[in-house]
Amino acid sequence: MNGLWGSIMWTRMLDTYLKSLVRIGALTLRLPDGLSYRYGPGGEGAPDVTVTIKDEATLRSLALNPHLTLGEAYMDQTLVIDGDDLHGLLELAMRNISAGADSALNRLQGAVRTALTAAIRRNPIAKSKENVAHHYDLSGALYDLFLDEDRQYSCGYFLTPKDGLEAAQRQKKAHIAAKLLLKPGMKVLDIGCGWGGMALTLARDHGAEVLGVTLSEEQLKIARARAQEAGLADRVRFELMDYRAVTGQFDRVVSVGMFEHVGAAHYTTYFAKVRDLLKPDGVALIHTIGRFTPPGASNPWITKYIFPGGHIPALSEIMEPVEKLDLVPTDVEIWRMHYAYTLRHWHDRFMARRDEAAALYDERFVRMWRFYLVASEQSFRWYGQGVFQLQIARDQNAVPLTRDYLAGKAAGAPNVAEAAE
């Protein structure tokens, strides 16, 4: 529906939605016809944001599908935020949605997305490689703009909120290594090894022999080059391989930031494979983004533009197959604000070099990537997302009786001699 009546209808739909939504903070909305509307009580401690919608097509799309259109309109500059306060706008949206101030339309859309997700979240091997390439085979120069020197593209571990990014990522690797209880010569499988940082750390600092597998050709090329440069090619091997194709048994299995790409339909397959790859006294450490809420659908903008095939699991979704496969959860740790801190570092580093990102791609890509980083940060601050670290074993006696063995380890990686004790 176009023309005057169409504009009135879309305005009424969006107005009804925002009246229901905005109960915290305030939003001023300027429409293409010049009219302005204000929503929410305002007040200190919550964002007060002004947004301008540039055309009727964007107005219509926002009324019909706000969760997809908001990001697209920001990318296309058909929705403009005063002061480019994207953090404020997304904090406002997520605080209100998480507080339950959402409309019947939005709940209906969420239910439809959940139903559709169940049908499309399968990740067969060929599709998995395609999905990985969409994100991880982007130019390596892009990731150099904002990641730490070791290219850790997952949540850092902050001993204090003031920690820098480099320290937080070193602490993350040390914390994971401590949970793996490594000894020199142990055989380790790194599922979803990225650019090789974790595998190289485990070999260099802990004397492990590591196989890293990835579906990203770009990551594989860089990881292999790094192993050669570090003189570790005799102890670290990287392969372009789906985890389902790995054979043999390992003392340890580690997977950081990969489980989000497995697909909920494949969780039983994944944990069955981990079980089969572990020696009888083996230990696995799975590090994944998770939701604190019941299982639900992925955000449609993130699925379309950033992580096709991705799914953020609830803890209940993870534990069900673990329980059925006779695996022992020997430790479950919940990281709450750590990824919010990590993402703010990434955002600030990216924006400091935004012109380089635009030269690699274009201005629309820069806006897309910024929206992704800011939306992700605000999700961890306000929208019920965190990180789950699940330590599992086949034998409940494979790890010490208490967590004392972790004391102080996150401050720095133990050397090989310490690991041998």
**What tens digit of pLDDT does each residue of 122-161 get?**
555 555 556 555 566 678 899 999 999 999 999 999 999 9
Q: Which of 343, 357, 365 is nearest to 257 (CA)?
A: 343
User: Given this model, what pLDDT does residue 146 score?
Assistant: 97
User: Given this model, what pLDDT does residue 417 score?
Assistant: 38
> What distance in Å separates the CA atoms of residue 271 and residue 266, rounded to the nearest whole number?
9
Q: Which two tokens stand for residue 48?
A: 């007060």
Q: Which of 375, 317, 316 is nearest to 121 (CA)?
A: 317
Q: DSSP secondary-structure letter at 285? A: E
pLDDT single digits (tens) 73-98: 999 999 999 999 999 999 999 999 99
Q: Which two tokens stand for residue 258?
A: 């990969």
Q: How confident is the model over 179-194, as a mean pLDDT?
A: 97
Q: Is the pLDDT of residue 261 over 70?
A: yes
Q: What sign results for the dihedral spanned by CA atoms 218, 222, 227, 233?
A: positive
Q: How confident is the model over 302-310, as a mean pLDDT?
A: 90
> What distance in Å separates the CA atoms of residue 285 and residue 174, rounded to the nearest whole number?
13
Q: Which residue has the tokens 């599709």?
A: 127
Q: How confident is the model over 179-186, as a mean pLDDT?
A: 97
Of 34-43, 116-125, 217-226, 365-374, least confident by mean pLDDT is: 116-125
User: Given this model, what pLDDT does residue 297 score?
Assistant: 86
> What distance in Å separates the CA atoms of residue 354 and residue 121, rounded to the nearest whole number?
33
pLDDT single digits (tens) 13-25: 999 999 999 999 9
Q: In the chain, pLDDT over 70 holds for what percent of residues?
A: 87
Angle at 215 between CA 378 and CA 221, to 5 degrees: 100
> What distance in Å separates the CA atoms of residue 199 and residue 176, rounded to the nearest whole number?
11
> What distance in Å separates the CA atoms of residue 392 and residue 398, rounded to the nearest whole number?
9
User: Given this model, what pLDDT does residue 100 score?
Assistant: 80
> What distance in Å separates the CA atoms of residue 421 and residue 415, rounded to the nearest whole number?
11
Q: In the chain, pLDDT over 90 holds for what percent of residues?
A: 81
User: Given this model, what pLDDT does residue 134 score?
Assistant: 57
Q: What is the mean pLDDT of the chain?
A: 90
Q: Which of 144, 103, 127 is nearest to 357 (CA)?
A: 144
User: Which positions ≥6 away from 194 have C-beta within 8 Å?
Assistant: 136, 151, 152, 153, 154, 214, 216, 219, 223, 256, 257
User: Given this model, what pLDDT does residue 118 score?
Assistant: 45
User: Given this model, what pLDDT does residue 132 score?
Assistant: 56
